[in-house]
Structure 1
Amino acid sequence: MSKMSKLILTRRFNHTTSYSKDLAQIEAFFNKKRFKNVKRPYKSIDVLKHRGSINYLQENATPVSSLISRKLFNLLETHFKERKPLHTLGVLDPVQMSQLARCENIKVAYVSGWACSANANDNVSPDFGDYPYDTVPNQVGRIFNAQLMHDKKLHLQNFNSGRNNNSDKIDYLKPIIADADMGHGGITTVMKLAKLFAEKGASAIHLEDQLVGSKKCGHLGGTVVVPTSTHLQRIIATRFQWDLMGAENLVIARTDSCNSNLISSDIDARDHKFIKGIAVENNDIRPVSEVLLEEELKQEKYGHSTSSDSLNSIEQEWYKENKLLTFDEYMIQTLTDSEYTNLIKERSELLKKLGRRYLSISEMKQLANKISPRKNLTFNWYYPRTKEGHFMFNGCLEAAIERSLLFSYYSDLIWLETKTPNLLQAKNFAMTIHEKNPNIKFVYNLSPSFNWEAQGFNQETLKSFIWDLAKHGFVLQLVSLAGLHANGLGTWKLAKEFQYDGMKAYVNNIQNVERQTNSDMLTHQKWSGIDYIESISNVIQNGQSSMTSSTSGSGFTEKHF
């Protein structure tokens, strides 16, 4: 226990034995091997003060998902050490989960927010993160409860046959990784969401650095990232919530900054290097938002409605006439070659002196004035802002690296969202971050949004891609919408043939294939757990249940198989 913690206890709690013991338990929790590479900006006493009177660590009151998250952590550790992939498919529902469970080399499951928005939501829609924040947790809950049911069914089956549980390699309790989008709100909402996910059964969640209210699928244009500090607070809030619960669930920090061209605020100096502006050389230039507003008001004055095409045309013309630049690009344009060389040297020395990786816009301007005091700096990043007030952002790999490096010390894994499946990009990303933080593990989205065959892959490189990625530390890899596409394709193929061929189509496409591939869905009554329920009924009703005979005798249709 630290001296400061003891001092606070003495002053506030009279250093009672109870509080001292509780604090020691929390600090022991913090010092677990599980958290060896995780940084917390708060103290153990902050958890003690805010968790309430229940000692979750002592009373074993942590959520079940925390137990399974230990399995996930150990899997990640082993696969990272061996540089092997922990790859999986996104599942839509309990049925798909149960089929995934029968695959020995697929050891985890994934639940996508995109899939839930389009398939498990009262108001089906594209992924704008505008569905109720309990949508994905509730879907996770359905899947997790099904996992528990199938696990009980298997346990009973093994017990009755005299086999040890380990004799059957089916693992129905595969850890679930779930999509928490951008957290759906401020810090308190993020904490509530994290609590809900843990209670519903998610062993890990990922949070992306997009703006609440402007969230889009990472493969669409126009995504808006938040300041680095805002997303860092989301990650810390999630960890703090789970610390309050005594939970070991994993936090995945995702960044969309590699592809985004907008940022919601310029408040964080760590983002300044990537914010774009223009050179305001004369007073005739006005902010683009003012130009657009003036056009709208002018049309209203004459009783016309302003078309979006007209406004888009004016906006595009403004950006064509006013070239967007980062401050560094502006310096290249403004300074002589020798002056720019001196600027780079001075900047490097200043960063080394300050012991950080960034300079604010004011520091960059001061440095420029020092190098070339007679130059009038006309750089302005407020003029190009959108109507919503968003700043132009230079989304690039360097931006993703800078953010991810910071996030890596507070999270368990880092997710790099990309536009294309690019092994060289992934390698450069991982190599740069591992130079500073060699322990962090990476996540890769093997997205169905990519046209894989159009990316230069052949059959051999398609097969080896995930193993090639894993060599660089991209351990967790997932086909996020695999379940959605498999569901749609399978149903489409069946329906298309069934409309003309009737039961021939069903038998040939479903029943025969189930039999040939040893699918447990062939005997769906058994799959659903009817034997397990009958066994419980026998215990409660001392063998007198009418259910006892439901799976015996000629009346049980699955005897046909």
Structure 2
Amino acid sequence: YIEAGVGGVHFEDQLASEKKCGHMGGKVLIPTAAHIRNLSAARLAADVSGVATLIMCRTDADSAQLLTSDVDERDRPFISGERTAEGFYRLREGEGMARCIARGLAYAPHADLLWMETSRPNLEQARVFAEAIHREFPGKLLSYNCSPSFNWRANLDEADIARFQLELGAMGYKFQFVTLAGFHSLNHGMFELARDYGNRGMAAYSELQQAEFDSESAGYTATRHQREAGTSYFDAVSLAIS
């Protein structure tokens, strides 16, 4: 990605071979020092390549309950003393926030942005993390995953949802994103179209088409799918070599 000139890339502190979605159980952390090496390697690769890539560091320490090794003394205060059949170290319950802060402070000098993966949308949790980081690293850029895995209306009312991102921004969370918004929009949109087309035929599709036409004044361009696919470019190439 860096060689291709990507504008930013994120690295998380999970064990790659046991990688889980950020909102699933069974996550295994690597030692703090191991992740710092990953971040440093990425920065070195970007610098050597002459690419101004932003390095975003994600920690899954909030909900992870396992650690590969006790080699790093920064991780030892959070270890329960128990181990799994696979040899992983169990982490103490109820200390996820403290783990995130400890790791965030350790990672901060080695990344452009910090991302604490959370289990639910929680402004107070975000504030505690931001204040702890900015106490030692004023102005450090933070990231927040406004995840589609959250049931937003089950956790927040409409007023809270409306102000959620504004308050995050005021705390220093300058990069806020929905990781799978396109996936959900595409799938739900196709579901609705298939259902309505099955019931009403082309009347349903014509409504979709009209909605596209109506959106053109706001900048929508995909009504003309041939143009979106670049047919005019290839027509020009064909003309040039004819």
Using the size of structure 2 for normalisation, the TM-score is 0.93
Give the C-alpha shift of residue 199 in structure 1.
Answer: 3.3
Give the C-alpha shift of residue 202 in structure 1.
Answer: 2.2
Match of 1:532 in 2: 233
Match of 2:131 in 1: 431
Match of 1:400 in 2: 100
> What is the aligned counterpart of 2:113 among 413, 426, 437?
413
- Are 1:255 and 2:22 matched, yes or no? no
Give the C-alpha shift of residue 504 in structure 1.
Answer: 1.3
Q: SS at 1:471's partner residue?
A: helix
Q: Is the 8 A contact 2:3 2:49 kept in 1?
A: no
Residue identity in the other structure for 1:257: A
Whole-angstrom distance in 1 between the partners of 2:224 and 2:21: 38
Whole-angstrom distance in 1 between the partners of 2:5 and 2:184: 24
1:503-542 residue pairs with structure 2 within 5 A?
Answer: 503-508=202-207, 510-518=208-216, 519-538=220-239, 540-541=240-241
Whole-angstrom distance in 2 between the partners of 1:226 and 1:206: 16
Residue identity in the other structure for 1:515: F
Whole-angstrom distance in 1 between the partners of 2:43 and 2:199: 55
RMSD: 1.4
1:137-148 residue pairs with structure 2 within 5 A?
Answer: none
Residue identity in the other structure for 1:526: R
Q: Is the 8 A contact 2:18 2:28 kept in 1?
A: yes
Give the C-alpha shift of residue 458 in structure 1.
Answer: 2.2
* CA shift digits 1:236-286 (9 cap, x unpaired): 11111112212211111100011111111111101111111xxxxxxxxxx
Give the C-alpha shift of residue 528 in structure 1.
Answer: 2.6
Q: Is the 8 A contact 2:57 2:107 kept in 1?
A: yes
Residue identity in the other structure for 2:228: W
Match of 2:89 in 1: 391
Residue identity in the other structure for 1:442: L
Q: SS at 1:475's partner residue?
A: strand
Residue identity in the other structure for 1:386: T
Give the C-alpha shift of residue 489 in structure 1.
Answer: 0.2
Whole-angstrom distance in 1 between the partners of 2:43 and 2:229: 36
Whole-angstrom distance in 2 between the partners of 1:216 and 1:534: 45
Residue identity in the other structure for 2:186: N
1:112-151 residue pairs with structure 2 within 5 A?
Answer: none
Whole-angstrom distance in 2 between the partners of 1:268 and 1:528: 51
- Are 1:494 and 2:174 matched, yes or no? no
Using the size of structure 1 for normalisation, the TM-score is 0.41
* CA shift digits 1:220-249 (9 cap, x unpaired): 112111110111111011111112212211
Summarize the Cα distance change of 1:513–1:201 in structure 2 as closer, same or farther, 3 Å threshold.
farther
Match of 1:465 in 2: 164
Deviation above 6 Å: which 4+ runs of structure 1?
A: none
Give the C-alpha shift of residue 406 in structure 1.
Answer: 1.2
Whole-angstrom distance in 2 between the partners of 1:418 and 1:198: 27
Whole-angstrom distance in 1 between the partners of 2:3 and 2:195: 41
- Are 1:244 and 2:48 matched, yes or no? yes
> What is the aligned counterpart of 2:17 among 213, 236, 242?
213
Q: SS at 2:199's partner residue?
A: helix
Whole-angstrom distance in 1 between the partners of 2:59 and 2:10: 10
Residue identity in the other structure for 1:463: A
Question: Who wins on radius of gyration, i.e. which is larger?
Answer: 1
Between stretches 200-209 and 470-479, larger displacement belongs to 200-209
* CA shift digits 1:411-443 (9 cap, x unpaired): 100001000111011111111110101131000
Match of 2:77 in 1: 273
Higher-RCO chain (CA-CA 8 Å, sequence separation at least 6): 1
Q: SS at 1:463's partner residue?
A: helix
Residue identity in the other structure for 2:199: Y
Q: Unmatched 5+ residue regions in structure 2?
A: none
- Are 1:452 and 2:152 matched, yes or no? yes
Whole-angstrom distance in 2 between the partners of 1:226 and 1:213: 11
Residue identity in the other structure for 2:192: K
Whole-angstrom distance in 2 between the partners of 1:500 and 1:432: 56
* CA shift digits 1:160-187 (9 cap, x unpaired): xxxxxxxxxxxxxxxxxxxxxxxxxxxx
Whole-angstrom distance in 2 between the partners of 1:500 and 1:425: 46
Q: SS at 1:517's partner residue?
A: helix
Q: Unmatched 5+ residue regions in structure 1?
A: 1-196, 277-380, 546-561
Match of 1:482 in 2: 181
Whole-angstrom distance in 1 between the partners of 2:53 and 2:154: 38
* CA shift digits 1:454-494 (9 cap, x unpaired): 11x22222122111101010000000010110111011001
Identical positions, percent: 38
Give the C-alpha shift of residue 536 in structure 1.
Answer: 4.0
